[in-house]
Amino acid sequence: MTADAKHRFNQPLGGNEMPRFGGLATMMRLPMQDTAAGLDACFVGVPMDIGTSNRAGTRHGPRQIRAESCMLRPYGMGNGVAPFENLQVADIGDFAINTFNISATCDIITEGINGILEHGCVPLVLGGDHTLTYPVLRAVARKFGPVALVHVDAHADTSDVMFGEKIAHGTPFRRAVEENLIIPDRTVQIGLRGTGYSPSDYDWGRNLGFEVVQAEECWHRSLAPLMERVRQRFGGDVPVYVSFDIDSLDPAFAPGTGTVEVGGLTTIQALEIVRGCSGLNLVGGDLVEVSPPYDPSGNTALIGANLLFEMLCALPGANG
Ligand SMILES: [Mn+2]
Protein backbone atom coordinates (compact mmCIF):
# COMPACT_ATOMS: atom_id res chain seq x y z
CA MET A 1 0.00 0.00 0.00
CA THR A 2 1.38 3.35 -0.95
CA ALA A 3 0.94 6.22 1.50
CA ASP A 4 -0.80 7.98 -1.34
CA ALA A 5 -3.52 5.36 -1.77
CA LYS A 6 -4.00 5.24 1.97
CA HIS A 7 -4.55 8.95 1.98
CA ARG A 8 -7.04 8.84 -0.88
CA PHE A 9 -9.35 5.97 0.09
CA ASN A 10 -11.12 4.66 3.17
CA GLN A 11 -9.22 1.88 4.90
CA PRO A 12 -10.44 -0.90 7.17
CA LEU A 13 -9.43 -0.18 10.75
CA GLY A 14 -6.21 -2.10 11.41
CA GLY A 15 -5.72 -4.63 14.18
CA ASN A 16 -3.12 -2.39 15.85
CA GLU A 17 -5.37 0.66 15.89
CA MET A 18 -8.24 -1.03 17.73
CA PRO A 19 -8.37 -4.67 18.83
CA ARG A 20 -10.28 -6.72 16.26
CA PHE A 21 -12.91 -7.59 18.85
CA GLY A 22 -13.42 -3.94 19.80
CA GLY A 23 -15.15 -0.90 18.36
CA LEU A 24 -18.36 -0.64 16.36
CA ALA A 25 -19.00 -3.56 14.01
CA THR A 26 -19.11 -2.05 10.53
CA MET A 27 -18.41 -4.25 7.53
CA MET A 28 -14.65 -4.89 7.45
CA ARG A 29 -14.27 -2.15 10.11
CA LEU A 30 -14.71 0.42 7.36
CA PRO A 31 -15.95 3.94 8.02
CA MET A 32 -19.70 4.34 7.98
CA GLN A 33 -21.62 7.03 6.13
CA ASP A 34 -25.29 7.79 5.55
CA THR A 35 -25.38 7.72 1.76
CA ALA A 36 -23.32 6.33 -1.11
CA ALA A 37 -22.10 9.79 -2.12
CA GLY A 38 -18.50 9.67 -3.27
CA LEU A 39 -18.24 5.88 -3.11
CA ASP A 40 -17.25 3.39 -5.79
CA ALA A 41 -18.79 0.53 -3.83
CA CYS A 42 -20.70 0.17 -0.60
CA PHE A 43 -21.83 -2.49 1.80
CA VAL A 44 -25.50 -2.20 2.78
CA GLY A 45 -27.61 -4.45 4.99
CA VAL A 46 -31.17 -5.68 4.53
CA PRO A 47 -32.25 -7.14 7.88
CA MET A 48 -35.25 -9.14 6.71
CA ASP A 49 -36.59 -12.66 7.16
CA ILE A 50 -40.29 -12.16 6.47
CA GLY A 51 -39.88 -13.92 3.11
CA THR A 52 -38.55 -17.18 4.55
CA SER A 53 -40.47 -20.45 4.30
CA ASN A 54 -38.77 -22.62 6.92
CA ARG A 55 -36.32 -21.57 9.63
CA ALA A 56 -36.19 -17.79 10.03
CA GLY A 57 -33.49 -15.60 11.57
CA THR A 58 -31.90 -13.91 8.58
CA ARG A 59 -33.05 -10.56 9.97
CA HIS A 60 -29.99 -10.92 12.20
CA GLY A 61 -27.70 -11.67 9.24
CA PRO A 62 -26.27 -8.22 8.48
CA ARG A 63 -25.16 -7.60 12.08
CA GLN A 64 -23.56 -11.01 12.36
CA ILE A 65 -21.79 -10.75 9.02
CA ARG A 66 -20.40 -7.38 10.11
CA ALA A 67 -19.29 -8.84 13.44
CA GLU A 68 -17.55 -11.79 11.79
CA SER A 69 -15.92 -9.52 9.18
CA CYS A 70 -13.65 -8.10 11.88
CA MET A 71 -10.83 -10.48 10.92
CA LEU A 72 -10.73 -9.35 7.29
CA ARG A 73 -7.56 -7.49 6.36
CA PRO A 74 -7.33 -5.16 3.37
CA TYR A 75 -5.24 -7.31 1.02
CA GLY A 76 -6.38 -10.60 -0.54
CA MET A 77 -3.37 -12.91 -0.22
CA GLY A 78 -4.96 -15.55 -2.45
CA ASN A 79 -6.53 -13.42 -5.17
CA GLY A 80 -3.77 -10.78 -5.14
CA VAL A 81 -6.27 -7.89 -4.99
CA ALA A 82 -5.99 -4.74 -2.83
CA PRO A 83 -9.45 -3.22 -3.35
CA PHE A 84 -8.92 -0.35 -0.92
CA GLU A 85 -6.02 0.97 -2.96
CA ASN A 86 -8.30 1.42 -5.95
CA LEU A 87 -11.88 1.90 -4.77
CA GLN A 88 -13.57 4.18 -2.27
CA VAL A 89 -15.70 1.90 -0.08
CA ALA A 90 -17.80 2.38 3.06
CA ASP A 91 -20.58 0.70 5.02
CA ILE A 92 -23.80 2.68 4.62
CA GLY A 93 -25.73 0.75 7.25
CA ASP A 94 -29.07 -1.02 6.88
CA PHE A 95 -32.26 -0.18 5.04
CA ALA A 96 -35.09 0.47 7.53
CA ILE A 97 -37.41 -2.23 6.21
CA ASN A 98 -41.02 -2.65 7.34
CA THR A 99 -40.91 -6.02 9.08
CA PHE A 100 -44.72 -6.32 9.00
CA ASN A 101 -45.16 -5.71 5.25
CA ILE A 102 -43.16 -7.52 2.57
CA SER A 103 -44.48 -5.43 -0.31
CA ALA A 104 -43.60 -2.19 1.46
CA THR A 105 -40.23 -3.70 2.35
CA CYS A 106 -39.54 -4.41 -1.32
CA ASP A 107 -40.33 -0.79 -2.21
CA ILE A 108 -37.98 0.42 0.53
CA ILE A 109 -35.21 -1.80 -0.84
CA THR A 110 -35.73 -0.68 -4.45
CA GLU A 111 -35.73 2.98 -3.43
CA GLY A 112 -32.59 2.45 -1.35
CA ILE A 113 -30.72 0.75 -4.17
CA ASN A 114 -31.91 3.44 -6.61
CA GLY A 115 -30.27 5.98 -4.32
CA ILE A 116 -27.00 4.05 -4.26
CA LEU A 117 -26.93 3.62 -8.04
CA GLU A 118 -27.63 7.31 -8.58
CA HIS A 119 -24.27 7.98 -6.94
CA GLY A 120 -22.57 5.65 -9.43
CA CYS A 121 -21.84 3.27 -6.56
CA VAL A 122 -21.91 -0.54 -6.75
CA PRO A 123 -24.09 -2.05 -3.98
CA LEU A 124 -22.93 -5.19 -2.16
CA VAL A 125 -25.87 -6.32 -0.07
CA LEU A 126 -25.72 -8.16 3.26
CA GLY A 127 -28.90 -10.27 3.65
CA GLY A 128 -31.43 -10.91 4.70
CA ASP A 129 -33.50 -13.57 3.00
CA HIS A 130 -33.42 -14.14 -0.74
CA THR A 131 -36.61 -12.19 -1.35
CA LEU A 132 -34.46 -9.07 -1.35
CA THR A 133 -32.81 -9.88 -4.67
CA TYR A 134 -36.07 -9.15 -6.51
CA PRO A 135 -36.40 -5.52 -5.34
CA VAL A 136 -32.64 -5.02 -5.74
CA LEU A 137 -32.87 -6.20 -9.35
CA ARG A 138 -35.79 -3.82 -9.99
CA ALA A 139 -33.44 -0.94 -9.20
CA VAL A 140 -30.45 -2.45 -11.04
CA ALA A 141 -32.50 -3.04 -14.21
CA ARG A 142 -33.94 0.46 -14.02
CA LYS A 143 -30.42 1.80 -14.40
CA PHE A 144 -28.75 -0.83 -16.60
CA GLY A 145 -31.62 -2.63 -18.30
CA PRO A 146 -31.92 -6.40 -17.93
CA VAL A 147 -28.70 -7.87 -16.50
CA ALA A 148 -26.86 -11.16 -16.76
CA LEU A 149 -27.04 -13.19 -13.57
CA VAL A 150 -24.70 -15.48 -11.67
CA HIS A 151 -26.96 -17.18 -9.11
CA VAL A 152 -25.39 -19.56 -6.60
CA ASP A 153 -27.92 -21.47 -4.53
CA ALA A 154 -29.22 -24.85 -3.39
CA HIS A 155 -32.59 -23.88 -4.87
CA ALA A 156 -33.78 -22.40 -8.16
CA ASP A 157 -35.93 -19.76 -6.42
CA THR A 158 -38.16 -19.66 -9.49
CA SER A 159 -41.45 -20.74 -7.91
CA ASP A 160 -44.51 -18.86 -9.08
CA VAL A 161 -46.08 -18.55 -5.65
CA MET A 162 -45.50 -19.71 -2.08
CA PHE A 163 -48.68 -20.14 -0.07
CA GLY A 164 -50.32 -18.13 -2.80
CA GLU A 165 -47.92 -15.21 -2.36
CA LYS A 166 -46.00 -13.82 -5.32
CA ILE A 167 -43.22 -12.30 -3.18
CA ALA A 168 -41.20 -14.72 -1.06
CA HIS A 169 -37.67 -16.09 -0.89
CA GLY A 170 -38.51 -18.89 -3.34
CA THR A 171 -39.81 -16.61 -6.12
CA PRO A 172 -37.34 -13.76 -6.83
CA PHE A 173 -36.01 -15.07 -10.14
CA ARG A 174 -39.49 -15.87 -11.50
CA ARG A 175 -40.48 -12.25 -10.83
CA ALA A 176 -37.17 -11.06 -12.30
CA VAL A 177 -37.88 -12.87 -15.57
CA GLU A 178 -41.52 -11.73 -15.72
CA GLU A 179 -40.48 -8.11 -15.22
CA ASN A 180 -37.57 -8.32 -17.67
CA LEU A 181 -34.95 -7.61 -14.98
CA ILE A 182 -32.55 -10.39 -16.03
CA ILE A 183 -31.49 -11.91 -19.37
CA PRO A 184 -32.61 -15.55 -19.30
CA ASP A 185 -29.95 -16.82 -21.71
CA ARG A 186 -27.31 -14.94 -19.74
CA THR A 187 -28.30 -16.55 -16.45
CA VAL A 188 -26.37 -19.33 -14.73
CA GLN A 189 -27.60 -21.13 -11.60
CA ILE A 190 -24.96 -23.12 -9.70
CA GLY A 191 -25.32 -25.63 -6.86
CA LEU A 192 -28.98 -26.64 -7.14
CA ARG A 193 -29.84 -29.87 -5.37
CA GLY A 194 -31.95 -31.76 -2.88
CA THR A 195 -35.45 -33.09 -3.07
CA GLY A 196 -38.09 -31.56 -5.30
CA TYR A 197 -41.70 -31.89 -6.31
CA SER A 198 -41.05 -33.37 -9.77
CA PRO A 199 -38.15 -34.19 -12.13
CA SER A 200 -38.90 -30.99 -14.05
CA ASP A 201 -38.44 -28.58 -11.13
CA TYR A 202 -35.44 -26.89 -12.77
CA ASP A 203 -36.87 -26.89 -16.28
CA TRP A 204 -38.78 -23.62 -16.00
CA GLY A 205 -35.48 -21.76 -16.13
CA ARG A 206 -33.80 -24.18 -18.53
CA ASN A 207 -36.63 -23.74 -21.03
CA LEU A 208 -35.98 -20.00 -21.00
CA GLY A 209 -32.25 -20.43 -21.54
CA PHE A 210 -30.90 -20.56 -17.97
CA GLU A 211 -27.78 -22.67 -17.60
CA VAL A 212 -28.53 -24.83 -14.56
CA VAL A 213 -25.48 -26.49 -13.01
CA GLN A 214 -26.73 -28.96 -10.43
CA ALA A 215 -24.58 -29.68 -7.40
CA GLU A 216 -23.79 -33.19 -8.60
CA GLU A 217 -22.02 -31.68 -11.62
CA CYS A 218 -19.83 -29.72 -9.19
CA TRP A 219 -18.87 -32.59 -6.90
CA HIS A 220 -15.16 -33.46 -6.66
CA ARG A 221 -14.04 -30.85 -9.15
CA SER A 222 -12.75 -27.33 -9.54
CA LEU A 223 -15.32 -24.79 -10.69
CA ALA A 224 -12.68 -22.58 -12.30
CA PRO A 225 -13.38 -24.11 -15.76
CA LEU A 226 -17.12 -23.45 -15.35
CA MET A 227 -16.45 -19.81 -14.54
CA GLU A 228 -14.05 -19.54 -17.48
CA ARG A 229 -16.95 -20.66 -19.68
CA VAL A 230 -19.31 -18.18 -18.01
CA ARG A 231 -16.87 -15.34 -18.66
CA GLN A 232 -16.56 -16.32 -22.30
CA ARG A 233 -20.34 -16.48 -22.70
CA PHE A 234 -21.13 -13.25 -20.85
CA GLY A 235 -18.16 -11.24 -22.10
CA GLY A 236 -16.84 -8.14 -20.37
CA ASP A 237 -19.54 -5.66 -21.37
CA VAL A 238 -22.97 -6.95 -20.38
CA PRO A 239 -23.88 -5.78 -16.85
CA VAL A 240 -23.79 -8.73 -14.44
CA TYR A 241 -25.36 -9.19 -11.03
CA VAL A 242 -24.15 -11.91 -8.65
CA SER A 243 -26.56 -13.35 -6.10
CA PHE A 244 -24.97 -15.74 -3.62
CA ASP A 245 -27.23 -17.76 -1.32
CA ILE A 246 -25.11 -19.20 1.50
CA ASP A 247 -27.23 -22.38 1.41
CA SER A 248 -25.43 -23.26 -1.81
CA LEU A 249 -22.63 -24.41 0.49
CA ASP A 250 -22.78 -27.77 2.17
CA PRO A 251 -24.22 -27.55 5.70
CA ALA A 252 -20.94 -28.99 6.95
CA PHE A 253 -19.45 -25.58 6.11
CA ALA A 254 -22.46 -23.30 6.46
CA PRO A 255 -25.13 -24.72 8.78
CA GLY A 256 -26.44 -21.29 9.77
CA THR A 257 -29.20 -20.93 7.22
CA GLY A 258 -32.90 -21.64 6.95
CA THR A 259 -33.40 -24.17 4.14
CA VAL A 260 -30.53 -26.64 4.33
CA GLU A 261 -29.71 -29.22 1.64
CA VAL A 262 -27.00 -31.89 1.81
CA GLY A 263 -24.27 -32.45 -0.77
CA GLY A 264 -23.47 -28.80 -1.38
CA LEU A 265 -20.51 -26.76 -2.53
CA THR A 266 -17.28 -26.41 -0.58
CA THR A 267 -15.92 -23.07 0.60
CA ILE A 268 -13.11 -23.54 -1.93
CA GLN A 269 -15.62 -23.88 -4.77
CA ALA A 270 -17.43 -20.78 -3.49
CA LEU A 271 -14.17 -18.85 -3.71
CA GLU A 272 -13.59 -20.17 -7.23
CA ILE A 273 -17.03 -18.96 -8.29
CA VAL A 274 -16.71 -15.45 -6.87
CA ARG A 275 -13.11 -15.02 -7.97
CA GLY A 276 -14.21 -16.33 -11.35
CA CYS A 277 -16.51 -13.30 -11.66
CA SER A 278 -13.48 -11.05 -11.97
CA GLY A 279 -13.41 -9.70 -15.52
CA LEU A 280 -17.19 -9.54 -15.76
CA ASN A 281 -18.92 -6.17 -15.68
CA LEU A 282 -20.27 -6.64 -12.16
CA VAL A 283 -22.78 -3.93 -11.24
CA GLY A 284 -23.98 -5.36 -7.93
CA GLY A 285 -24.17 -8.39 -5.71
CA ASP A 286 -25.68 -9.88 -2.62
CA LEU A 287 -24.88 -12.50 0.00
CA VAL A 288 -28.13 -13.82 1.44
CA GLU A 289 -29.71 -16.30 3.85
CA VAL A 290 -27.22 -16.22 6.74
CA SER A 291 -29.31 -17.06 9.82
CA PRO A 292 -27.30 -16.44 13.01
CA PRO A 293 -29.66 -18.36 15.36
CA TYR A 294 -28.60 -21.54 13.50
CA ASP A 295 -24.96 -20.50 13.34
CA PRO A 296 -23.58 -21.07 16.85
CA SER A 297 -19.92 -21.01 15.77
CA GLY A 298 -20.35 -17.89 13.64
CA ASN A 299 -18.66 -19.68 10.74
CA THR A 300 -21.58 -19.27 8.33
CA ALA A 301 -21.52 -15.50 8.81
CA LEU A 302 -17.72 -15.56 8.61
CA ILE A 303 -17.82 -17.33 5.26
CA GLY A 304 -20.45 -14.83 4.13
CA ALA A 305 -18.23 -11.91 5.13
CA ASN A 306 -15.31 -13.42 3.22
CA LEU A 307 -17.41 -13.96 0.09
CA LEU A 308 -18.53 -10.33 0.22
CA PHE A 309 -14.87 -9.28 0.40
CA GLU A 310 -14.20 -11.52 -2.60
CA MET A 311 -17.09 -9.87 -4.48
CA LEU A 312 -15.53 -6.48 -3.75
CA CYS A 313 -12.21 -7.78 -5.11
CA ALA A 314 -13.98 -9.01 -8.29
CA LEU A 315 -15.50 -5.60 -9.11
CA PRO A 316 -14.25 -3.70 -12.16
CA GLY A 317 -11.37 -1.48 -11.08
CA ALA A 318 -10.72 -3.27 -7.80
CA ASN A 319 -7.37 -4.48 -9.07
CA GLY A 320 -6.23 -1.13 -10.40
MN1 LIG B 1 -32.10 -18.76 -2.48
Each residue's pLDDT tens digit, 95-115: 999 999 999 999 999 999 999
What is the reported pLDDT for 147? 98
Calculate how far, in angstroms, residue 157's C-alpha sits from the geometric centre of ligand 1: 6
**3-class state of residue 186 by DSSP:** strand
Calculate how far, in angstroms, residue 52's C-alpha sits from the geometric centre of ligand 1: 10
d(CA 131, CA 57): 14
Calculate how far, in angstroms, residue 135's C-alpha sits from the geometric centre of ligand 1: 14
- Residue 204 pLDDT more than 70? yes
Calculate how far, in angstroms, residue 18's C-alpha sits from the geometric centre of ligand 1: 36
What is the reported pLDDT for 3? 60
Each residue's pLDDT tens digit, 147-184: 999 999 999 999 999 999 999 999 999 999 999 999 99
Calculate how far, in angstroms, residue 68's C-alpha sits from the geometric centre of ligand 1: 22
- Residue 1 pLDDT more than 80? no
Three-state SS sequence of 101-113 = CHHHHHHHHHHHH
**3-class state of residue 239 by DSSP:** strand
What per-residue string of b and e applies to 82-95 under the rule 16 or more CB within 10 Å gives b? bbbbbbebbbbbbb
Cis check: omega of the bond before 317, within 30 degrees of 0: no
Q: Which CATH class is domain 3-314?
A: alpha beta
DSSP string, 48-95: --TT-SSS--GGGHHHHHHHHGGG--SS-TTT---GGGT--EEEEEE-
**3-class state of residue 188 by DSSP:** strand
Calculate how far, in angstroms, residue 287's C-alpha sits from the geometric centre of ligand 1: 10
- Residue 5 pLDDT more than 90? no
Calculate how far, in angstroms, residue 111's C-alpha sits from the geometric centre of ligand 1: 22
- Residue 2 pLDDT more than 90? no
Each residue's pLDDT tens digit, 246-264: 999 999 999 999 999 999 9
Calculate how far, in angstroms, residue 69's C-alpha sits from the geometric centre of ligand 1: 22
Domains in the chain: boundaries: 3-314
Mean pLDDT of the chain: 97
- Residue 212 pLDDT more than 80? yes
- Residue 44 pLDDT more than 60? yes
Picking from 103, 17, 95, 31, the residue whose alpha carbon sits closest to that of residue 59 is 95
